Structure 1
Amino acid sequence: MTSLSSFVDFSKESLYLSLLSITFNPTAWNIVAQNEYHNKTITRMFGGNARNGCYFLAVMIFSFGLLRDHLYQRALADQPRARLLPEPYDTIVPAALFLVGQTFVLTSTYALGITGTFLGDYFGILMDHRVEGFPFNVLRDPMYVGSTMCFAAGALWYERPAGLLITAYVYIVYLIALRYEGPFTDMIYSNRATQQKSEPKKEL
């Protein structure tokens, strides 16, 4: 049986930098966002303007996302190559995965808007109602699923078995992040609903 080390070069620093960036992003943004909800740290940095604070966080999340993708590409380039799929599926499957994955990511962003996508609810910028159209009528967390699909697409396109290992790690990290992000977001909207019920109705 061929050992895992023949497909994955564990001596490459780029592999660990990629895993570190994948871990850092959702972990850091969850911590920052929960701190923002409780302490309004970023909002106070922007003179009490929550929307500008959210835009600042959006730029940070997007920038670190680009860095994560760059480190992933570097990690793939440093890893051994091996045929993973027969022709013509070696191009069809990764291309389809990337197309579907990007569709989920981009349509999620469009449906939620900038503040909805980049944790605006932690800044007190809440949506009027839950988004139920595509892609949220297909998946509960289409952005995370789409991102994972794009990682898998890269691994298959460049024929790097290590990329599939990294993709599995991405999936695990996202699952852990959702265990914290999902309930916390639900709590924010539950608190708003409770507050709205307790407020006296204005007479017309």
Structure 2
Amino acid sequence: TILLTSKKELALKTALALAQVGEFSFAIFALAGAAGLIANDLIGLLILVVVISMIITPFMLAKINVIVRKILKKETYKNDFETFTERRNHIIICGYSVVGKFIAKDLEAMGVEYIIIDNSLKHVREALAEGKKAYYGDMSKPSMLSDLHVENASAVIVTLDNTEKKRLVCEALQQFSKNVKIVVKVVSLEEKEALEALEIGTVIDSKKEIAHILADEAKLCRL
């Protein structure tokens, strides 16, 4: 089971960590009371609140993760990897953004079996809603590659946009199994050069391929 994180979690943790009122507040209350800005009975209540916050904050920080999960009722997502033990010669699409969607469509049209892996829950849910086999996870993690039985796949197509993430995934794949065929999409010469040291079998330069297609189409034009 994968526990999903969010900006709400970070914000709530920060708020709880800063909830304690400092001792300086006692001086402020005294000055405010002397100036007649706060009634004496209210000052007593405020001091009580400060003391309570100082007492409970250490205990609250020790259990902050549990408290945040209870408040936000954090969402979990569970992958079912049991079917992977029997799967063979399929293609793994790493990343279900624009390019990943086109690849899935083409593979489906050709009758080729494939699965989708993405670390965006939004993309995973989108693929599942379309009836596709999609899983949530990070393919740069060896544990994920093991769960997926990557060694049984005919190829892994990496369509991620982030160069560093792309490199980490390719490195993890190569370290996990030398027999995995990796196909990577790059968008620039600089990105291609950054991945050259990995000696990836197939690197597709998207801009170069588009240029070839445009040139071929232009040659068919007649005045």
Q: In terms of Rg, which structure is larger?
A: 2
TM-score by length of 2: 0.21
Which structure carries more relative contact order (alpha carbon 8 Å, separation 6+)?
Answer: 1
TM-score by length of 1: 0.23
